[in-house]
Structure 1
């Protein structure tokens, strides 16, 4: 599992945008976003760097945990 802290994920729209971005680079990945803690968990993605880049390209600032 890959975990990121993404402090600028603050609403349901953000969750949908991040989820879509991750699924674009890892179609079979399972994405969980906890708005309260700003943690994005990705399971089943083989390339953590690609996931991080996808989140950045979507306009967010992930910090790998």
Structure 2
């Protein structure tokens, strides 16, 4: 498969995974988050971006 197709497929799957994680963590406004929750959210998003753009085929390990 071509690289761009892998990025699109893994991107869609990671968006679904991040959506489920967000639903499990609950709803809060950004102003209600503690510093730890804010940094954790940014870190999870960064890991998701690395899994999407990493073409080494380690999608399940990233999840």
TM-score by structure 1 length? 0.35
- Structure number with higher helix proportion: 2
TM-score by structure 2 length? 0.36
- Structure number with higher strand proportion: 1
When Rg is computed on C-alpha atoms for both structures, the one with the higher figure is: 2
